[in-house]
């Protein structure tokens, strides 16, 4: 890569976008990876893909002074943060599914009673074991199916279609549609387990009516935990088999939100 000022400016802008994206995008099992390492990886990645980004007359004009460069840099960081957040929705689908299942099975209640509030590395947010299981399993399926390759290709294509220095206009209606779709997908993925446990709740309610002296908490919680594990195991192929499709859908939706408009070209 030539070290002329224009190329270096484009590299810094592309590196700012990719570094911001990597800083907020969750990577299962790599929550310990700190922000400095992600920033350096983003700059290295930008250096590698910069030859694929349009330059010369096909590229937007490079900022000619420091204030314009700072504004362009902030715009690239914001764009990268928003894209990283959108890509993170792919794994948050499984986190929301695990939260719904954990609430219905009693995992959340058992964790509260036990006082286990372990936080996730890098975020400090409390995560229960079911959340970790679903995120790691979904991540393993994504890696095994090479869906992460599609994500990398899509990000490089995004840099090519929306080069550093452009002013893409996000589509708010499309963004709201993506958020609604993520929540709906989480509900559908958790429906087999949640629906089965609702039947268990109904059976326990009838049992308590017929035997009022029965300790519902002492009997119901172990039963729901055990049956919940069985239902989770039975529904796992269906739930995690959709992980590559979820990631590809999020990538396409993110591209539609941020890649549909180009400012200066």
Can you give the pLDDT at residue 131? 77
pLDDT at 13: 86
Closest CA to 183 of 99, 72, 79, 67: 99
Planar angle of CA 142, 171, 265, nearest 5 degrees = 95
The pLDDT score that the predictor gives to residue 124 is: 46
pLDDT at residue 118 above 60?
no
pLDDT at 20 over 70: yes
Inform me whether the pLDDT recorded for 32 exceeds 80.
Answer: no
Q: Model-level pTM?
A: 0.67
pLDDT of 172 strictly over 80:
no
Residues 90, 26: Cα–Cα separation, whole Å: 10
The CA distance from 69 to 92, in Å, is 34
Taking residue 195's Cβ as centre, other Cβ atoms within 10 Å add up to 11
Arithmetic mean of pLDDT, 29-38: 70
Q: Taking 60 as the threshold, does the pLDDT of residue 27 lie above it?
A: yes
DSSP state letter for 65? S
- Taking Cα atoms as reference points, which of 150, 128, 122, 156 lies closest to residue 49? 156
Residue-level pLDDT at 170? 57
Residues contacting 48, CB < 8 A, separation 6+: none
Most confident of 70-79, 161-170, 178-187, 254-263: 70-79
For the residues 126-136, what does the mean pLDDT come to?
Answer: 72
Question: Coil, helix or strand for 119?
Answer: strand
Looking at the DSSP assignment, which residues form a beta bridge with residue 126?
A: 119
């Amino acid at each position: 890569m030539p070290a002329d000022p224009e190329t270096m400016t484009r590299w810094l802008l592309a590196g700012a976008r990719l570094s911001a994206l990597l800083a907020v995008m969750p990577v299962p099992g790599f929550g310990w990876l700190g922000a400095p390492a992600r920033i350096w990886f983003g700059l290295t990645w930008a250096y590698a893909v910069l030859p694929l980004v349009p330059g010369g007359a096909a590229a937007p004009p490079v900022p000619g002074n420091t204030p314009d460069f700072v504004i362009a840099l902030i715009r690239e960081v914001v764009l990268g943060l928003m894209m990283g957040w959108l890509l993170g929705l792919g794994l948050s689908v499984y986190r929301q599914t695990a939260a719904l299942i954990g609430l219905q099975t009693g995992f959340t209640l058992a964790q509260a009673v036990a006082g286990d509030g372990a936080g996730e590395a890098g975020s400090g947010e409390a995560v229960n074991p079911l959340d970790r299981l679903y995120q790691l399993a979904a991540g393993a399926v994504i890696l095994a199916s090479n869906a992460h390759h599609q994500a990398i290709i899509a990000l490089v294509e995004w840099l090519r279609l929306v080069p550093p220095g452009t002013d893409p206009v996000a589509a708010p209606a499309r963004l709201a549609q993506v958020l609604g779709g993520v929540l709906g997908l989480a509900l559908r993925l958790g429906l087999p387990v949640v629906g089965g446990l609702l039947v268990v709740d109904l059976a326990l309610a009838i049992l308590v009516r017929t035997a009022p002296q029965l300790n519902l908490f002492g009997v119901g919680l172990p039963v729901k935990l055990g049956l919940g594990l069985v239902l989770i195991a039975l529904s796992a192929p269906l739930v995690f088999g959709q992980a590559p499709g979820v990631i590809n859908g999020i990538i396409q939706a993110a591209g539609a939100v941020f890649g549909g408009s180009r400012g200066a070209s």
